[in-house]
Structure formats: structure tokens, C-alpha cells
Amino acid sequence: MSSQNNGKSQVDLKRNGNHNGSVSVSRLKAASLFTGIGGFDLGFERAGFEITFQCEINEFCRNILKEHWPEIPCHENIKDLHATDIPQSDVWAGGFPCQDVSLARMGHRPGLKGKRSGLFYDFARLIGEARPRVVLLENVAGLLSSHGGKDFAIVIQTLAELGYSVGWRVFNSKNFGVPQSRQRVYIVGCYRDIHGPGEILFEPECSARDAEAGEPDEEASLSPFKKSIGDPSGFGPVVQSIAYCLYACSARHTGTDWSRTYVQYPRKGQVRRLTPKECEGIMSFPENWTIPTKGKYRSDDLDSLRYHALGNAVTPPVAEWLANRIRSHLVTRQAAVA
């Protein structure tokens, strides 16, 4: 990125990160539901999409969204939302709540029968009313096994009955430059387009993400969680090169599983949990992304809110990769029709 800002605001510069500059002349549009703190939105914006709409029930997350997208309409409750409220958009993206299907949940998983993960049905209702060209859903890998796979089958069947060709793939954020092992399932639906999901989700060529066999055998045999960054002979800090997944939905955690991912000071014999700022880095969000307007929250409350919001978020690099694939497919398809 050039050192000159070309008239862009500081928010724009912070949001755009390492944008590769490949933006379509005619900007495609994307709307997000279950927006959280804007992981999908940030990735799609970096890929050249125009963000048209957001929907998020959490007040803290809505405040963060307002910091970064002050002009974008943000609806509060998907249950009260109608398709006509959403501006025409080529892509709808959303990570519907994972709490009822997550393996991190203690005890019984209610799945899509739960009050939170069951909001998928409201998402499907809106999709059926508007039929956007592409829908992109994200959830924890536990969705695949919830109720013996029946919940996942419902998601796929529901989209298919609405006229969508559907594909899915599990991605780990660590393979996209994110310093965290974070597996999530991504579901792509393309309206009356049988080739779309496969072309978007799967590369015809082998890439570095497809095989991590480039390392020597002795390196590959060492768990990435055992590798550390820092000076273990000094006063620290020393951190793992790859963090464990940051959760926000398990009773065992408060924003992040700090019993497994932590900062240590070997000479002092001390350890501490990650700060919210460090969690932003582990999620690959820009620095201070989750700091709202000053004075709105007490410091202790703010930390908890930031941990929780980050634990629920989509990692922007994965979203950007998918957005670029979607954009390329839609542009190619449009050119073929023309």
C-alpha cells in the first residue's frame, strides 16, 4: 500500500490492510447477517466488494460495526427482518450462531432445534424471499456431526430446495496466514448454478494450503503448538507460534482458552492470558479493531466483551480468499453470458 492515503479516512486505511488491489471495475455487492464484528465484511471489502447491509443483535458488536462502517444500515434482529429491507446484493454472507452445535458446548447439543443455532431458519426464510446469486455460510465443524449429521443435512437440503447448488469445505485459518488453528466449515450456495460451488471452494491447482509437506519430516513431526516465538533464555515474553482456537461459547472459557494459549516469561516463572489486543492479532484483525467509542464501557467489561466478540468472529483472511474466489466466478460467469 502506498504511504499516501489518497483521501481515504484512517478507518479506511486500517480496514483495507494488505489489500492486493484486484478490484473489479463494476463493484459487486455483499450483505452480511449475523455480522459480529465484521470478519466477513472486512474480507469482502478487501476483495473489492461494496458492503450494503449488516444485521447483528449484539449491542457491543453493533457499536464496533458503527465505528468501521458508519454509513451502512445495520438491522438488530433477524427475526424482524424482511428481504425487502436488504439492498440488492450479489452475495449474502453469514456465520449463524454456533452455540447449539459446537463441540465446545458442555453437555447436550440441541443443534438446529436450539434458540440460537435455530436462527438458520430465519436466514433461510430471507434467502428464499430474495434469492441472492451466492450465499456463504460459516459455522463450527461441529455442525457436521450435530444430531448424527442430520442438522448439516437440513442446511444443505434447505438451500437445495430454494434452488441453490451447494458445496462445502472445512478450512483451517492457520493455512491462510492466521496464527491460530481454527477449523470452520464454509458452505457456498449458488442460485441455479451447478458449477459455482465447486469453482469457488476448490482450486484446480495444488497450493501451499493443500499440502504442508514442504517441511522436513522432523519439522512436520513436531506439533506447531509446541513451537514457540521469543527468547526462552531471557525474561520473555514467549508465545506459541500457532495458538489454539479462540472460543467464546464454551463454559470452560472466558473469551479465549487461556489455559492452552498463553504468554510465558521463563526467567520470571510467570504466565498470563492473552490481551484483547493480542487476540485481535491472533484473529488477524487490524490493531484496536474492537475498541469502541471512548468512555462507553468500563475497562473490565470492555475486555470481556472484546474477548467474546473475537471468539465468535470469522477470520478476515479466510473471508477474503473466499470473496476473491466468488468475485472471480461471478465476473467470469457474467462475461460468458455477455
Cite the active site residues: 98
Q: Which residue has the cell 447449539?
A: 100
Rg (CA), the chain: 20
At 81, give phi and psi (nearest 5°).
Answer: -90, 140
At residue 46, the 3 state secondary structure works out as helix
Determine the Cα–Cα distance for residues 72 and 144; give it in Å rounded to an integer: 33
C-alpha cell at 197: 460451488
C-alpha cell at 91: 452475495
Number of Cβ atoms within 10 Å of the Cβ of 75: 18
Instruction: Choose among 141, 83, 151: nearest CA to 117.
Output: 151
CB 224 within 8 A of CB 242: yes
At 228, give phi and psi (nearest 5°).
Answer: -120, 155
